[in-house]
Amino acid sequence: MAGLFALEDHLVFYRSYHFNKTNVTIHLICIPIILLSAITFLMPVTFPRIFDSPQFNLGNFVAWSYGLYYIALDWKVGLPSATILVTYAHFIRNYYSSLSANTSPTSDFFIKCAIGIHVVAWFAQFYGHGIHEKRAPALLDNLLQALVLAPFFVAFEIAFVLGYKLDLKKSMDNRAGKIVRDFKAKGKR
């Protein structure tokens, strides 16, 4: 496993499981959906014995933890990522507050929709790996690294398209390409 702040090593690990363009496209769509839907359905989970405010909840904790870690890895990509996550969490928290103020059953429906969307996005990713990548997902080899770094990988894919750190992209693709080549060669033996 790469060191906690070894950004290129993390990106190489993740890229080596995502080389097929169709699978990468599926992930670029589904990973943000998975993270944002998780923040959504974790928002009502509070810490009543620790904090008295509904602002201290598992959804906010996830958004802030991911955001701060991404800033520590690379502030130029991490800051916009963190801003999106924290802003989204704030918006969802306010939405839940407005629902609970009206004592509406819409909150339960909203949570169920978020969970449903979350599950569908996971299935889409497994489809991408099974049909297009023809390789098991990264989370089977390193669950924590795959779950935490997947959204940042998406952020970097967007940054690469915008021309940011193309030398990192080239290095990452070259290193991951060798890993994929070795993986395929091992499978043919």
Task: Tell me what pLDDT residue 51 has.
Answer: 67
Task: Tell me what pLDDT residue 142 has.
Answer: 84
CA dihedral 180, 182, 184, 189 (to 10 degrees): -170
User: How far apart (Å, rounded) are the C-alpha atoms in residues 4 and 17?
Assistant: 19
Confirm whether 2 is domain-assigned. no
Largest CA distance in the chain: 63
Task: Tell me what pLDDT residue 79 has.
Answer: 98
> What DSSP line would sit under 127-149, residue for residue?
HIIIIII-S--GGGT-HHHHHHH
Task: Tell me what pLDDT residue 186 has.
Answer: 83
Confirm whether 1 is domain-assigned. no
Task: Tell me what pLDDT residue 4 has.
Answer: 85
Q: Which domain holds residue 11?
A: 7-188
Q: Please tell me the total count of domains within the chain.
A: 1
pLDDT less than 70: residues of the chain = 1-2, 51-54, 100-106, 188-189
133 CB-near residues (< 8 Å, 6+ apart): 17, 18, 19, 20, 23
Task: Tell me what pLDDT residue 37 has.
Answer: 97
